[in-house]
Structure 1
Amino acid sequence: MSIVDRVWRTHSDPADTMTSAARTCCQLIFTRTRGHLFASVRGPETRATTAPVPPDAEFLGIRLTLGSVLRPHPAASIVDGHAPFPVTDSGRVIIGGDDWEAPTYDNAEQFVRRLRDAGLLVRSGLVIEEHSAEQPRRRLSQRTRQRRYRAVTGLSRTAVTQIDRVNAAATMLRDGHDWRTVVEALGYFDQAHLAHALRRYLGRTARTLQAADDVTMSFLYKNDPSPGS
């Protein structure tokens, strides 16, 4: 299984804030602004928040897959938060006590492979097992499995499913589907249930998601047909 879900880049526009949507996965974020580099790992986000956006900034993001673990900063330790990485005067990023050349969009996956080869970034088999249809070799109690899942991802399995589902809903709305189609396809009880999820996890309504002039918002992402898998 891959460690990287997606590599993205963008730059700041005149807006000085953005809505950061709920996320299940950690992200490595590299920000260059006015000759300075800032680097950090952001943890899973359990709700929509408003984040400041520095002017004249370029962003590079490496979104990790669910269950990928950056050993110095496990997901459970940075839920709804982040951990900054020191940056040397020469622009190298310190992770796990070693300094690394800051990645670019073109070599981001090579950067991840170097972290993996150094043992700093690993893929946990636990999440794969939890989502597998196969019977585990050793039967564990539901409580033990939930505890291990949260230790790896920082979230409950229910939270992961809810966040993935609302991102799938938002993507469908932006693709032009009406709320009735979304409710039926994704198993929401009714329009009110969908609206509550959109406000909580995305800070949006169905109408604003479908508007062409929607204000700045962090990237939505398309999901597996079964949210949480």
Structure 2
Amino acid sequence: MRFEHRDVETDASVVDRVWRTHSAVGDTMTSAARTCCHLVLTRMRGRLHVSLRGPETRATTAPVPPDAEFLGVRLALGAVLRPHPAASIVDGFVPLPVTESGRVVIGGEDWEAPTYENVEQFVRRLLGAGMLVRSPLRAEEHPAGHPEVRSQRTRQRRHRALTGLSRTAVAQIDRVNAAATMLRHGDDWRAVVETLGYFDQAHLGHALRRYLGRTARELRGDDDAAMSFLYKIRPSPGS
């Protein structure tokens, strides 16, 4: 399986990337930890299956059916597809109904299933109907309008309610994805440790195995995309 992915030319505050791939034979793949939700459409044997996958806090192994086409819409951190908040599907997913005519049911309404080429129109329709919204994470980071700044504990609780994850978990997952990007670019583990603030090689290795299900050596040599490492991020998380 090889993944093709691109930016979505619409509101970047709700959708990050769109991707697609095809499986020739039945197999398994490693699903890496992620901080956001994915809308995944799978076509196989003439039928469409749709699910909203939540944030994942660790790497897992998932079966891949043969001769299937996959389309994924990666939501931005904090984006919500109503009525399914991220916090309700952490390390899980919710199947979305599909009508006999192949339309996706979201929020009690049926929508034309998107393709890789026209996903922008699909996103705009969901935005216009209020079905796809971005949670106000920036407002949570910088509360204003009142002299008493919201407590750290309250902000942490609010962040988890909006994203399903703590700030610490988000930072750790972002950092390990940045580490994987550097390793795939050929950087030595020492450079990764120094750049991203890992304690040592063992600390880096533990994070890679926990969140990506790969070792540094496997990441440098594994270019067959048999894992859901679908996009590159900046070497410095959050920058």
Shorter chain as denominator, the TM-score bin is over 0.9
What letter corresponds to residue 151 of structure 1 in structure 2? A
What letter corresponds to residue 192 of structure 1 in structure 2? A
User: For each residue in 1:189-221, what CA deviation from the matched residue of structure 2 results, as whole angstroms up to 9, or x when unmatched?
Assistant: 100000000000000000001114667111243
Aligned positions, number: 226
User: For each residue in 1:62-81, what CA deviation from the matched residue of structure 2 results, as whole angstroms up to 9, or x when unmatched?
Assistant: 00000111121000000000
Match among 196, 199, 203 for residue 189 of structure 1: 199
Provide the rounded CA distance (Å) in 1 between the counterparts of 2:204 and 2:121.
39
User: For each residue in 1:122-167, what CA deviation from the matched residue of structure 2 results, as whole angstroms up to 9, or x when unmatched?
Assistant: 0112x22345xx5633310111100110000000000000000000
Q: TM-score, normalised by structure 1?
A: 0.94
List 4+ stretches of structure 1 deviating above 3 A.
Answer: 134-138, 212-215
What letter corresponds to residue 144 of structure 2 in structure 1? P
What letter corresponds to residue 24 of structure 1 in structure 2? T
Q: Is the contact between residue 171 and residue 220 of structure 1 (CA under 8 Å) also seen in structure 2?
A: no
The equivalent of 2:189 in structure 1 is 179
Query: CA offset at residue 174 of structure 1?
Result: 0.6
Does 1:51 pair with 2:62?
Answer: yes
SS at match of 1:122: strand
SS at match of 1:23: coil
**Where do 1:1-229 residues align within 5 Å?**
2-14=13-25, 16-125=27-136, 127-131=137-141, 136-138=144-146, 139-212=149-222, 216-228=226-238
Q: Is the contact between residue 20 and residue 51 of structure 1 (CA under 8 Å) also seen in structure 2?
A: yes
SS at match of 2:161: helix
Q: TM-score, normalised by structure 2?
A: 0.90
Provide the rounded CA distance (Å) in 2 between the counterparts of 1:176 and 1:88.
47
Provide the rounded CA distance (Å) in 1 between the counterparts of 2:48 and 2:77.
27
